[in-house]
Structures are given as C-alpha cells and as structure tokens.
Amino acid sequence: MNYKEALAILEVDETMSSEEVRRAYRDLVDVWHPDRYVHNDRIKLKASEKLKQINRAYDLVQKHFKEKTHSSQQQSQSTKKQSQSSQQKTQSEKEESFVYVKCTHCQTTNRFPKDKPSDPNIKCGKCGKTLEDGRQAEEASRKADRKKRKKAKKNARKTKKSRVAVIIGFFSLVWGFIVVWEVSNNSYNTSDLASKPEKPLQEYVNNIPSTAKPTIEDLLEELEGINEKDKNIRATPYSGKIRYYTDRAIKASLTILTYSGTNYLVKLEDAATGRYIADIFLVGGYPAKVDIPSGRFKIKWASGTDWYGYGELFGPSTNCSVIQETFNFNETPQGFRGYRLTLEPAQHGNLNSVAIPISQF
C-alpha cells in the first residue's frame, strides 16, 4: 500500500490537515467496526478486514505527516543557522573594517576606519595627545608577529620531516635484521627438512576426528518450524497507544498500572448501548495515563505475551476479562472524574472481574 492508496481508502486528499484526516478515520471506524454487525457473521468478517485496511492506511498517512513535519523543522533550523552565520560574518567584516590604535601615553585603545587617510596629527579620544607614534609602534608590532608566525610554521615543517625520516630508518633497520635472521635460520635447517619424507595429504584428512553435525536439511526443517510458529507474531505497539471510535469530547482521564510479564489491550464500551468507545494497548510494567471521552463505561481487557494484532489479539494464549462494575467519567463540581486502575489479580481488591470468552471481548 502506498501513500496515494492510503488517502483513497481514508477518502481524503493531500490538502487536508492531520486533524481532518483523524476525523475522517474515526468516521470510517464507526461505519466499519465489526461490533455493529454481530448478527451477520459474513458482514462482520468483511467489516473486520475493512477495518484492518483502514488502520493500515491511517498509520501510513500519519507516518507521512510526521516525516513532513520533521523535514519542515530541519529546513527551519537550517535557515536559522544560515541567518546566524550571515550575521556573524557581517559582524566579523565590520570589525575588520576598523583599525585599533593604542595610545602610548594613557594606554587607551582608539578605533578608526581602515580607509581613513593617515593623519599625523590625529588625537587620542581620552588624553588628547597625538597618536601617530602609537600607530607606528602598533604596525611594527604586527609585522614582527607575522614574521614570528612564519618562522614557527617553517620550523614545524622541518621537525615533521625529520621525524618521518627517523621512523622510516628505524623500520628499515628492523626489517633488515628480520630478513638476515630468517635466511640464517633456514640455511641451518635445510638438511633436516630434506631428510623427512612428505606426509600424504589424504592421511591427514583420514585422521581428523569426525563429530556428528546437523545436516542442511535438519537446519532448514528446524527453521521452518520456527517460522511456522512466529509468522503471525507482530511487534507490540507502544505502551499507552489509544484508538478512539467516537466523536465525543475528550475531557476525562484514566490511569492504568500493569506488572511486567504480560501485555494488555483494554477496551472501553458504553455501559448503556455496548458501543465500542476506545481501546488502549499497554506493555506490562509500563504505566500509562490517557485522555478519554466522558461517559459511563464498562471496561474489558485481553492479556497475553505475544502480540498477533488487533484482530487475533494475543493468539491462542489470549485471556479476556470484564469488570462487573461500571465507571462514570462524568463532570463534577471539581471537574471531570478520573480513575486509577491496576490490572493485577488481588485477593483484597475493590473490583470484581470475571473471565469471558474472546468472542465476547
């Protein structure tokens, strides 16, 4: 699926904003959600496939929006850096357009434009005495500094060449010593080598101890077994990822705590109509606080380890439960009511939950 196909599936175009695309996505989810067709298995199956396609298209479009935003930010930063560099360059050029002369009488530094004609009678801005003597001394000092830097560079180049020559000479001496030693050593052992008959290669091969190693067929068979087991397992979403299936205002909040070792998919249903409101994915051991619509809801959850996607949940090991109490996320004088929920079996917990089949999730 490419970007244009995703736009066509969501029934939007490239000129729409991210918020407009999100509203269109919610509308399509309301239309194609499988829970609306519980009395017709054929249409429910078709709706389920369509919803998967809509989710994939929405994820692709959202990824495009993120990449576009990131590119705009990088371009803005690049423009900002270029502007700063231009300002620094302008400031540097401005500074270089002046000459600084130190008064030999009061030690005050005076600044004059470079293109200003030399005036032997120019005065110090502080003490009022003539600066010509100071300007000449400053120029002589600059010339002496330039000569000193040139001499230092020339000496550094000579030192570098000398070091390279010493290193080359040292390695040449060592290499010559190694060659002489090998020649003398080989001449000493020549008679011994000639007196030993060459051992047939096949005899060495026959004497190599053999060990039982798996064949290529055994490895391929094992690999196929692993692929058959894991081909449906997918990467888990990030903890706290929420999907909305309603246009109600998002005003309340829900905090969910979990323990490591098990992942969860929490589902909110309208307590009166049974309508699918939202679902939240949680990675075990990572708490999440999410914003949810206001209303009165039933809370269900599915748990497991390996994630097979929103259609198959956690595969054959999926366990589903429902809390018998309802939760009122309604407005109070102090604001909208929120809840803190811990998903962990407890003997003295304040909520009663019962196991349900996956078909009722």
Q: Which domains does the chain have, with CATH numbers?
A: 3-66 (1.10.287.110), 91-171 (no CATH), 241-360 (2.60.40)
Angle between helices 41-96 and 3-10 (to 10 degrees): 130
What is the distance, to the nearest Å, from the Cα of residue 156 to the centroid of all Cα atoms in its chain? 46
Q: To 10 degrees, the CA torsion angle through 94, 95, 97, 103?
A: 150
pLDDT recorded at residue 114: 65
Has residue 279 got a pLDDT over 90?
yes
If DSSP codes are grouped into helix, strand and coil, which group holds residue 325?
A: coil
pLDDT recorded at residue 93: 64
Rounded Cα–Cα distance for residues 131 and 99 (Å): 13
Mean pLDDT of 24-48: 82
Instruction: Please enumerate in sequence order all residues whose Cβ is within 8 A of that of 328, keeping only pairs 6 or more positions apart, or say none.
Output: 296, 337
When pLDDT is cut at 50, 70 and 90, the band that residue 355 belongs to is very high
What is the distance, to the nearest Å, from the Cα of residue 177 to the centroid of all Cα atoms in its chain? 55
Max mean pLDDT range (37-46, 83-92, 199-208): 37-46
pLDDT in tens, 113-138: 766 545 666 777 778 777 665 556 66
Mean pLDDT of 311-324: 92
**pTM value > 0.85:** no
When pLDDT is cut at 50, 70 and 90, the band that residue 297 belongs to is very high
Percent of the chain with pLDDT strictly greater than 90: 22
Rounded mean pLDDT of the chain? Answer: 77
pLDDT recorded at residue 224: 53
pLDDT recorded at residue 122: 73
Of residues 204 and 68, which shows the higher confidence score?
A: 68
Return the minimum-mean-pLDDT range out of 53-57, 78-82, 194-198. Answer: 194-198
Q: To 10 degrees, the CA torsion angle through 342, 343, 346, 350?
A: 50
Query: Beta strand 339-342 with 331-332: parallel, antiparallel or unpaired?
Result: unpaired
When pLDDT is cut at 50, 70 and 90, the band that residue 37 belongs to is confident
Mean pLDDT of 22-50: 82
Instruction: Please enumerate in sequence order all residues whose Cβ is within 8 A of that of 12, keeping only pairs 6 or more positions apart, or say none.
Output: 20, 21, 24, 61
pLDDT in tens, 164-198: 777 887 777 766 666 555 544 444 443 343 334 44
The pairs formed by 328-335 with CB atoms below 8 angstroms and a separation of 24 or more are 328/296, 329/251, 329/252, 329/254, 329/292, 329/293, 329/294, 329/295, 329/296, 329/297, 330/294, 330/295, 330/296, 331/251, 331/294
Mean pLDDT of 217-224: 53
Rounded Cα–Cα distance for residues 146 and 126 (Å): 30
Q: Of all helices (H) and strands (E), which one includes residue 93?
A: helix 41-96
Rounded Cα–Cα distance for residues 131 and 100 (Å): 11
Rounded Cα–Cα distance for residues 108 and 100 (Å): 10
Q: Is the dihedral of CA 207, 213, 216, 217 positive or negative?
A: positive
When pLDDT is cut at 50, 70 and 90, the band that residue 230 belongs to is low
pLDDT recorded at residue 176: 66
Q: How many CB atoms lie within 10 A of CB 58?
A: 22
